[in-house]
Structure 1
Amino acid sequence: MVIKKVGFSSILISLFLVTLLVSPVFSTELDEATRTVTLDSSGKTIILTPEQVKRGKRLFNNSCAQCHNGGITKTNPNVGLELESLSLATPARDSVISLVDYMKEPTSYDGLYSIAELHPSIRSAEIFPKMRNLTDEDLLSVAGYILLQPRVSPEKWGGGKIYY
């Protein structure tokens, strides 16, 4: 039996290649149809750039995933970030503009009262420091990322604890 000495850099390269093979689709590989999301309640759409998708994912994971990992809502498992739940909210939260509005001024699912003291938002950035430096472009990227996830991970996004 011959034992070959393997260097640390060889191990890192091997791990990188394995990661590429088993990782989910990268934002640069998403086609325009997948990156097309609803902009507003009139049905207008926008095509997110690969950079916006990448930024949205990073910001979502940093600012939102603690409570919404995989599109679930830890505090209320009956309401997730899948399109059905978003469209049934009052007002509907199934477009980029409506999600950006929610991230600025969150309201209860029925839209009757503000939940800014309970839910991270731009309005409550003094309570939730991760929201302090988010720009409108950042919020657009996060909203776009949320809206395209049902196409990227249709069964998993919002699927709850059976996946996460």
Structure 2
Amino acid sequence: MIKKNVILLLFMAVFISAMYCVAPAYSIELDEATRTVSFDTSSKTITLTPEQVKRGKRLFNNSCAQCHNGGITKTNPNIGLELESLSLATPARDNVVALIDYMKDPKSYDGQNSIAELHPSIKSAEIFPKMSNLTDEDLLSMAGYILLQPRVAQEKWGGGKIYY
């Protein structure tokens, strides 16, 4: 009986040790095509690294998801973070450079008024402290994450109350 318990204990110790030593497996690894998004208004693109995508997701969830969970906009469900809404904004926000510009100094959907006092941004970091330590690389990762989500979550991203 003692021998059986020792073997079981030894097996459990090896199993638990292996869990900590082996790198975690991710259920989905995004391919290069999925990680390639529009960089600016020209035809330039950027391919995000897997690390940038993970970082973008983490930063988005920490800084933006309170109001934009799943790509919706809680304050205006008619305008989400799906590519169609982003492309119809003035100026269009359907590329990395434009989204970074927005995260630095947000404007209304028609581009006429600053909304920095209402929307978290680098410009309003004293009001929204979560934005104060974000670097340009952080903003690039977040913008890239937002732009690739329609490929990953498809119709759920920006789908509004139907899904979230």
Q: Look up the match of 2:33.
A: 33
Which residue matches 2:22? none
Give the 3 Å change call, closer, same or farther, for CA 152–126 of structure 1 in structure 2.
Answer: same
Partner of 2:92: 92
Q: SS in structure 1 opposite 2:154? A: coil
* Deviation for aligned residue 1:102: 0.1
> 1:43, CA displacement in angstroms?
2.1
The match for 1:121 is 121
Question: Residues 8-157 of structure 1 correspond to what in structure 2 (within 5 A)?
Answer: 25=28, 29-157=29-157
Distance, in Å, in 2 between the alignment partners of 1:48 and 1:99 is 15
**Unpaired stretches in structure 1, ≥5 consecutive residues:** 1-6, 14-19
Q: By how many angstroms is 1:24 displaced?
A: 6.1
CA distance in 2, matches of 1:24, 1:142: 21
Distance 1:154 1:73 in 2: 16
CA distance in 1, matches of 2:77, 2:155: 16
Residues paired across the two proteins, number: 150
| Correspondence 1:162 to 2:162 | yes
- Structure 2 unaligned regions, length at least 5: 1-11, 19-24
Measured after TM superposition, the shift of residue 145 of structure 1 is 0.1
Instruction: Report Cα offsets for 1:34-69 as digits up to 9, x if no partner.
Output: 000000001210100000000000000000000000
Amino acid at match of 1:103: M
TM-score, normalised to structure 1, is 0.84
Which SS does the other structure have where 1:77 is aligned?
Answer: coil
Give the TM-score, by structure 2 length.
0.84
Q: Based on CA coordinates, which of the two structures has the bigger radius of gyration? A: 2
CA RMSD in angstroms comes to 2.3
